[in-house]
């Protein structure tokens, strides 16, 4: 489940909530109780790891990453594609 960030357009309070993709966006601010929350754009922190893909950005030893890569260097950021 992704973490969504919201900001109240009335009082400026910022909150983060863990929500399902199918959940409706939050509307009411927990501080001022007004329906003024706006969903913010933010970058997720993701880590893709598995037998069919690369593990990127978490290990400095590229030889170890190359050995784990089962995608042949086709995934973005893969050390094998350099």
Say yes or no: 13 and 33 in one domain: yes
Say yes or no: 32 and 55 in one domain: no
Say yes or no: 7 and 26 in one domain: yes
Statement: residue 22 has pLDDT above 50: yes
Tell me how many domains the chain contains. 2
Domain ranges, residue 25: 3-39
Average pLDDT of the segment spanning 11-34? 93
Residue 82 resides in a domain: no
Residue 81 resides in a domain: no
Over the stretch 33-67, which tens digit does the pLDDT of each residue have? 999 999 998 776 555 555 555 555 444 444 444 44
Say yes or no: 9 and 33 in one domain: yes
Say yes or no: 35 and 50 in one domain: no
- Largest CA-CA distance found in the chain, in angstroms, rounded: 54
Q: Chain centroid to CA 42: how far?
A: 8
Q: In what order do the strands lie in the sheet with 3-8?
A: 14-18, 3-8, 37-39
The three-class DSSP label of residue 55 is coil
Statement: residue 80 has pLDDT above 50: yes
């Amino acid at each position: 489940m992704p973490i969504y960030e919201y900001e109240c357009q009335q009082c400026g309070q910022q909150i983060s909530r863990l929500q399902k993709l199918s959940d409706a966006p939050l509307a009411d601010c927990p501080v001022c109780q007004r329906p003024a929350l706006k969903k913010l754009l933010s970058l997720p922190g993701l880590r893709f790891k598995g037998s069919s893909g690369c593990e990127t950005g978490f290990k400095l030893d590229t030889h170890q990453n190359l050995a784990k890569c089962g995608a042949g260097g086709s995934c973005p950021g893969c050390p094998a594609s350099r």
